[in-house]
Amino acid sequence: MEKEAKRNVFTGSIGFVLAAAGSAVGLGNIWRFPYLAARDGGGMFLVVYIVLALTFGFTLLITEIAIGRKTKQSPLTAYGRINGRWKGLGIIACLVPIIILPYYCAIGGWVVKYLLVYLTGHGAEAAQDGYFTGFISGHVQPIVMLVVFLLATSFIIFRGVNKGIESLSKVLMPALLVLIVIIAVFSLTLSHTDDAGVTRTGLQGLGIYVIPDFKGMTLQKFINVLLDAMGLMFVTLPKVFSEMGMIGNIMGCLFFAMVLFAALTSSVSIMEAVVSSFMDQFHLSRTKAAVIEFVIALAAGLAVCLGYNEWYFELKLPNGAVAQILDLMDYASNNILMPLVAIGTCILIGWVAMPKTIIDEVEKNGEKMGRKRLYVVMVKFVAPVMLAILLLKSLGL
């Protein structure tokens, strides 16, 4: 009881919500989401994504938050508190952020580099062919930027939940929202004329993005959209900013500042998952746990950086992609381990501990849980089946 009393907690619901939003809004939303939305028909992808977020995402979000609140434990030990035979699921859940943090910080270092490039007025250089490849294949700069980003993340973790994570989220998340609005509004004023002489405006692009187009929609195409919605930035965007003239450098600064904010809030939540797990399992102080994870992340991050020069190789993955060290770590964590943890969570809550465990936790302070029937159906049947399909796709089956 004394240990739990001393555990860092959020000082209010606003801090928690902002921290949770910061955890959810990361590089994937800015880097991968626009590419998938464009590839899968814009509005159609968006509709499927929103439906999944309100059903599939709602189920897993409620489940994980309730497990954390009920057990007051980190991922490594929380599942064992629900059912002693499911401690192994906690080990897999802890492996995910341990694998993700090193390559996430490496990419965060790339963002730091590009922000510095635009802040110093050298955005035109970043638009040159081969600039990005030349940077990541270097031996010094990628490592320096990795260390800078990892140190920033670690500093926040050292300060704890309320002084570090909550304080950061209260500043960066509103700033991130402002930057997003500024860039979005400016994007609507843009126009581009291609080689064929066809001019497209930002408003036309918005229409493609939000209005679903069902023309030519086949079952196979819909399934691909569905899987993509479940599941380009350093090369293309500098060229776009370069075409904007003088304003492009300003837009580049704003954009990469926005990406840096998003990356930092997410990396903090990833590292906190590991640090809190070490604290709970091995009864370490926050400082010792953070130092251990810093060393692990630094060592693995160096391997990621060296994967683009000294340790470069190409490995074909089961899903058909060709991977280097970073891609291999991303595939293992996001495509294999994460679906396994989610499937295991659904089975544990849906069929072992039963959904009432989560419903009672949500309603224990007198609140009413909406969509209870939907939650039960999703956690017992729909979510595990969809996750299994996603996992099989990742395995190339």
Lowest mean pLDDT among 8-12, 159-163, 318-322: 8-12
Rounded to whole angstroms, the Cα distance separating 369 from 354 reads 16
Query: Does 378 score more than 90 pLDDT?
Result: yes
pLDDT of residue 49: 84
Lowest mean pLDDT among 17-26, 130-139, 306-315: 17-26
pLDDT of residue 374: 92
Q: How confident is the model at residue 13 (pLDDT cuts 50, 70, 90)?
A: low
pLDDT of residue 315: 94
More reliable by pLDDT, 337 or 9: 337
Query: Does 377 score more than 50 pLDDT?
Result: yes
Q: Are strands 315-316 and 199-201 parallel, antiparallel or unpaired?
A: unpaired
Structure tokens at 66: 């309730």
For residue range 248-270, what is the model confidence (pLDDT) as tens digits?
888 889 888 888 888 888 898 89
Are 344 and 86 spatial neighbours (Cβ–Cβ below 8 Å)? yes
pLDDT of residue 231: 44
pLDDT of residue 52: 86
Query: Does 183 score more than 80 pLDDT?
Result: no
Query: Does 44 score more than 70 pLDDT?
Result: yes
**Confidence (pTM):** 0.87
pLDDT of residue 5: 39
pLDDT of residue 117: 96
Average pLDDT over residues 110-115: 96
User: Where does 2-394 sit in CATH, by number?
Assistant: 1.10.4160
